[in-house]
């Protein structure tokens, strides 16, 4: 695996791969890699000739400076892991490479309604930052395929919207969420859970699964309230628990009228914020 830190080196590598007619798969990450990320890299490797992964803790998507500071950065371990799953190139830039002072990297596309709900309500400006960095990384890497995880359902929806609006010539592949044996979704934040919160956190997936079982039995509003209360009763501090249309991300009233329905939640386990979702339909 090659490790490239600067844009000039990345440009040479990408140009060579393109000259050879190789299809490039790209997995953007913020590091602190886990099996979920590794699954994305493996899927990119199955679908493409070359896999590029980036590790960049993007400051513009953190609305809370403490969260940015606490974000884990186990870079030596990440490099080993990426090497072990067949990543071809790791792009490991500094802030000045992604946002050079002499280049206007402001993205003038508003994520609109998709970004105003759920994560957008509790993390103002988050998706503007995500769109900005993903667009910038796509400009630098120029991949054929962008691989992202379903765990960040809303993020994927916003990026899909951006690719369409800006007519970017890249396909999006969404990979299923990888879970621990007890159902907890793999996340870079899990390492910060204390033993107590780690033992409580699986209630998130359990509650989402129960929500799926009960979709036909209760009106969505009541079901969402029950989900929220179940997380609170377990000791978590939920921010939201919503049952939404899988495309608009707006809350639904009549399940029969929607093709795709998703339950999404964010909850604090101590001082760690966890998000998860489950597709209720189809």
Q: Which of 14, 81, 85, 130 binds ligand PAF (CB under 6 A)?
A: 130
Q: Which of 10, 81, 115, 133 binds ligand PAF (CB under 6 A)?
A: 133
Q: Which of 87, 134, 146, 261 binds ligand PAF (CB under 6 A)?
A: 134
Q: Are 4 and 87 in contact (CB under 8 A)?
A: no
Task: Name the E strands within the chain.
Answer: 2-4, 24-29, 50-55, 89-91, 145-149, 171-175, 237-245, 261-269, 272-281
145: contact with ligand PAF by CB under 6 A: no
DSSP alpha helix (H) spans, 114-219: 119-122, 126-141, 153-165, 195-200, 203-214
Q: Give the active site residues.
A: 37
Stretch that binds ligand PAF, among 6-14, 25-33, 109-117, 238-246 (CB under 6 A): 25-33
> What mask, x for binding ligand PAF by CB under 6 A, covers residues 49 to 68?
---------x--x-------
CA-closest candidate to residue 117, choices 271, 256, 265, 282: 265
Positive or negative torsion for Cα 207, 211, 217, 218 = positive
190: contact with ligand PAF by CB under 6 A: no
Question: Chain-centre distance of CA 210, in angstroms?
Answer: 23
Nearer to ligand PAF, 211 or 265 (CB): 265
Is-cis flag, bond preceding 68, omega within 30?
no
CB of 27: closest distance to ligand PAF in angstroms? 9
3-class secondary-structure state, position 56: coil
3-class secondary-structure state, position 2: strand
267: contact with ligand PAF by CB under 6 A: no
Positive or negative torsion for Cα 33, 37, 38, 41 = negative
Stretch that binds ligand PAF, among 2-10, 127-135, 211-219, 240-248 (CB under 6 A): 127-135
CB of 282: closest distance to ligand PAF in angstroms? 25
Q: Which of 10, 17, 30, 203 binds ligand PAF (CB under 6 A)?
A: 30
Q: Which of 28, 143, 220, 238 binds ligand PAF (CB under 6 A)?
A: 28
Residue ranges in contact with ligand PAF by CB under 6 A: 28-30, 58, 61, 130, 133-134, 152, 155
């Amino acid at each position: 695996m090659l490790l490239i830190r600067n844009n000039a080196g990345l440009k040479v590598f990408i140009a060579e791969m393109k000259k050879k007619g190789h299809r490039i798969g790209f997995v953007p990450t913020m590091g602190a890699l886990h099996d979920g990320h590794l699954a994305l890299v493996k899927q990119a490797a199955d679908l493409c000739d070359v896999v590029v992964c980036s590790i960049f803790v993007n400051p513009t998507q953190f609305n809370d400076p403490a969260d940015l500071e606490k974000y884990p950065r186990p870079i030596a371990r990440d490099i080993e892991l990426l090497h072990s799953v067949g990543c071809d190139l790791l792009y490991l830039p500094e802030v000045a490479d992604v946002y050079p002072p002499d280049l206007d990297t402001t993205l003038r596309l508003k994520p609109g309604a998709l970004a105003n709900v759920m994560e957008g309500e509790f993390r103002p400006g988050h998706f503007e930052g995500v769109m900005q960095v993903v667009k910038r990384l796509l400009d630098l890497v120029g991949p054929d395929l962008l691989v992202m995880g379903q765990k960040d359902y809303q993020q994927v929806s916003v990026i899909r919207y951006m690719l369409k609006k800006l007519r970017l010539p890249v396909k999006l592949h969404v990979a299923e969420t990888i879970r621990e044996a007890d159902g907890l979704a793999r996340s870079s934040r899990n390492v910060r859970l204390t033993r107590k919160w780690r033992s409580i956190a699986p209630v998130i997936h359990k509650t989402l699964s129960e929500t799926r079982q009960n979709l036909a039995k209760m009106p969505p509003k009541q079901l969402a309230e029950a989900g929220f209360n179940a997380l609170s009763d377990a000791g978590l501090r939920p921010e939201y628990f919503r049952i939404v249309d899988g495309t608009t991300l707006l809350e639904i009233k009549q399940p029969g009228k929607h093709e795709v329905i998703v339950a999404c939640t964010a909850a604090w386990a101590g001082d760690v914020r966890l998000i998860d979702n489950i597709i209720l339909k189809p």
